[in-house]
Structure 1
Amino acid sequence: MEKALFLYSSREGQTKKILHYIEEELKDFECEVMDLHLVDEIDFTHYDRVLIGASIRYGHLNKKLYQFIGKNLKQLQTHNVAFFCVNLTARKEDQGKDTPEGSAYIKTFLKKSPWQPALIGIFAGALYYPRYKWFDRVMIRFIMNMTGGETDTTKEVEYTNWNKVSLFTDKFRNL
């Protein structure tokens, strides 16, 4: 049985939820899931595939992701490693915001990162207003108002396109 390592950087849990969905889809793999924020270095040779998922918050990926990339660059470049980004802008599939070419976040990531993943996915996240602290709720509502999104702070809305996640999983399986 092949082994896969899943690393995630998540604020509200949607990135981790997506990884668990992928894990369910990869029944032919033994999968290990780890919080990227708690990992410094890992020996990738123990795994046939590695998948890193990270979420955007206030327009940025967590700095721990870039630190991990810096410490593990050689392994990232020489092993079967894929990357996906979770953000609310990707809900605008009709505008191509859910593609590497149309995602401003991925363009920024590829400029800042010395690692250039061969396989990249972009998935819409979820809006969990009732779970946010007051400041985050106000800021995210402001951003959603500017971008034409949900502004009712009593709602939780999941924008993730699970069919798209399944298609990405098939590509990851064959990486």
Structure 2
Amino acid sequence: MQKVLLLHSSREGQTKKILHFIETQLGSSAQCEIKDIHQLPSADLTKYDRVLIGASIRYGHFNKKLYQFIEAHADQLKAAKAAFFSVNLTARKPGKDTPETSAYSRKFIEKSPWTPELHGVFAGALYYPRYKWFDRMMIRLIMHITGGETDTTKEVEYTDWQKVEEFSEQFARF
């Protein structure tokens, strides 16, 4: 049985939800551990057969703790069967939902000392009622500018679960 480490840098929980879905897709062939990068200053990645990092975007940026973790573990990530996916609302639009077409993915590759061989991009979710007032208003403004949902009473999930399932299959074969 494969040992798999599923790491997340999640703000509102959609990235973690995606990791749980991937864990389910891997099924009984994998013994998975899900951990929060923000709570994990160090890890021995050599104890795992596969590693997957999922990270969300907020206001155009990944959390700095993601980059700190990757810098601290770059050699282990390069040596491991390690993959990465990002979650952002821009990926709800066709043509902005692949590593090649996502500005966030391109910036990640430029900034990171690690280039994952397997890289996915998924649309996230809007959880307006759960946000603090400032975040709700800022995200509403961004969604207005980009032609998205602006009704702050709604929660909208844009994640394409079929795409996540396909990525899960690739990760399992990786």
TM-score range, shorter chain: over 0.9
Counterpart residue identity of residue 42, structure 1 = A
Moved more, 40-49 or 23-32: 40-49
Correspondence for 1:68: 69
Correspondence for 2:110: 111
Task: Give the alignment of 1:81-92 within 5 angstroms.
Answer: 81-92=82-93
- CA deviations 1:124-164 (Å, max 9, x no partner) are 00000000000000000000000000000000000000000
Correspondence for 1:19: 19
Counterpart residue identity of residue 138, structure 1 = M
Count of residues paired in the alignment: 173
Correspondence for 1:7: 7
TM-superposed CA distance for 1:53, in Å, is 0.3
State the distance in 2 between where 1:46 and 1:108 align.
29
TM-superposed CA distance for 1:8, in Å, is 0.2
Correspondence for 2:32: 31
Q: Secondary structure at the match of 1:86?
A: strand
- CA deviations 1:76-112 (Å, max 9, x no partner) are 100000000000000002xx11101110000101111
Root mean square deviation of aligned Cα? 0.5
Task: Give the alignment of 1:1-175 within 5 angstroms.
Answer: 1-27=1-27, 28-93=29-94, 96-175=95-174
Q: Secondary structure at the match of 1:123?
A: strand
State the distance in 1 between where 2:39 and 2:158 align.
27
Residue identity over aligned pairs, in percent, reads 66
TM-superposed CA distance for 1:166, in Å, is 0.4
TM-superposed CA distance for 1:43, in Å, is 1.1
Q: Name the TM-score, length of structure 1 as normaliser.
A: 0.98
TM-superposed CA distance for 1:42, in Å, is 1.1
State the distance in 1 between where 2:122 and 2:51 align.
18
Q: Secondary structure at the match of 2:96?
A: coil
State the distance in 2 between where 1:44 and 1:152 align.
42
Q: Name the TM-score, length of structure 2 as normaliser.
A: 0.98
TM-superposed CA distance for 1:40, in Å, is 1.5
TM-superposed CA distance for 1:46, in Å, is 1.3
> Which runs of structure 1 show a deviation greater than 6 angstroms over 4 or more consecutive aligned residues?
none
> Any gaps of 5 or more consecutive residues in structure 2?
none
Counterpart residue identity of residue 79, structure 1 = A
State the distance in 2 between where 1:150 and 1:91 align.
11
